[in-house]
Amino acid sequence: MTLVGKKAPSFKAAAVVNGDEVIEDFSLDQYLGKKHVVFFFYPKDFTFVCPTELHAFQARLADFEKRGAAVVACSTDTEQSHWGWLQMPKEHGGIQGITYPVVADTTKTIAANYGVLFGDYEGDEEGNLVATGPMIAFRGLFLIDKEGVVQHQLVNHLPLGRNVDEALRMVDALKFFEEKGEVCPANWSEGQDGLVDTHEGVASYLASH
């Protein structure tokens, strides 16, 4: 399932922002027309690989913000679990110091709508619902433009941590394309030249934005 080129699924859910404030009806819609969004899923609170990713995004948060991009995390844990983990120091395995929003997808519908829910429900012979898989999120990452359209997505299996520099590079590439109208070749990085693409798909995208 790919969401690239489509509107990012909208939602309202509880989230912890600034490390300790619970917002009950958090939504990505607040960024429409204002900011690009790097929206990433991680499997579970109080685990091993996940805090390395959350801290890595926090370490580069200023770089995302100066490019006009918001960073938002999400897992299928509750907001109470998020809050507790946020109070735990980094040296003890916690994510204290994370300031960007951490969304609580307790119904698992956000992960399902973004196509990153690991597992599914099936009915057994007695009509009972049975979960197949752990029902947690893969390591999905979505770059959403100011119009709410997904421009990039990446989904890793649980053991494979992501490269935050690559996420930042994709923000740079999107901004470069939007501002210059030029496309970005392989291994492109900020400061390099782009390519002029006369394909109708690119022209159509620019015309709609």
The yes-or-no verdict on residue 189 having pLDDT over 70 is no
Amino acid 198: pLDDT: 56
> Can 50 be counted among the known catalytic residues?
yes
Q: Which two tokens stand for residue 101?
A: 């929003």
What's the mean pLDDT when you consider all of the chain? 90
Residue 69 predicted with pLDDT over 80 = yes
Residue with tokens 């490269």: 163
Question: Contact at 8 Å (CB) between 49 and 58?
Answer: no
What pLDDT, on the 0 to 100 scale, is given for residue 141? 98
Which residue among 16, 38, 50, 95 is the active-site one?
50
pLDDT cut 70: percent of the chain above it:
86
The whole-model pTM stands at: 0.89
d(Cα 15, Cα 110) in Å, to the nearest integer? 13
Q: Which CATH number fits domain 13-162: 3.40.30.10, 3.30.450.20, 2.40.50.100, 3.40.50.300?
A: 3.40.30.10
3-class SS shares of the chain: helix, strand, coil, % to 5: 30, 30, 40
| pLDDT > 60? residue 195 | no
Distance from CA of residue 114 to its chain's centroid? 10
Q: Which residues pair with 151 in a beta bridge?
A: none
The strand pair at 102-104 and 13-17 is best described as antiparallel
Is the pLDDT at 183 greater than 60, yes or no? yes
